[in-house]
Amino acid sequence: MTQITTFDWGIFLFPGNKFNAGSGGNLWVIPSKKSANAALAYDFIDITLTKSIQTILGNAGGLPVNADLTQITDPKVQDLLKAFNTFGPGAAFYPDWPAAGLYDNLVSDVQDLINGKTTPSQMLDAVAAFYNQNKPQ
């Protein structure tokens, strides 16, 4: 993340947003049909969420959830963490969580809006229709 040096760049939140979409995805999951090694998965999750490991991840440019923020040395990562902590309870789910395939559909609908093929109202209707058709029952 910090190797970009050909221009000045920064991290900011979208002005006026009450919620900010974003997620690292389901990085730590244990399937409901447990494998014979589920205990190892639990151990892995416990280890990777420790403060020391999260601090290492933060210093590598990641977005840690349990780091010692006083030990994060990169100013850009510090800016990222400040922005993330600003919207704290305003973090929204990644768009595929509420309905499988919603993110791809959303990207397509936004592209249609940008290209002038749909109006904002039509775009919102299309997103709502896809969600309602594909949400978990």
The per-residue DSSP string of 14-35 comes to PTT-SSEE----S-S---SS--
| Torsion, Cα of 67, 72, 74, 76 (10° steps) | 50
Whether residue 17 is found in the same domain as residue 84: yes
Whether residue 116 is found in the same domain as residue 87: no
Q: Which is more confidently placed, 84 or 56?
A: 56
Q: Is residue 6 part of a domain?
A: no
Instruction: State the total domains in the chain.
Output: 2
| pTM value > 0.85 | no
Reduce the DSSP state of residue 136 to 3 states and report it.
Answer: coil
Q: pLDDT grade, residue 119 (50/70/90)?
A: very high
**pLDDT one-digit tens code per residue, 25-71:** 556 777 767 677 888 888 998 999 899 999 998 898 887 888 888 99
Whether residue 31 is found in the same domain as residue 84: yes
Q: Is residue 2 part of a domain?
A: no
User: Can you give the residue range of the structural domain that contains 131?
Assistant: 95-137
Q: Is residue 82 part of a domain?
A: yes
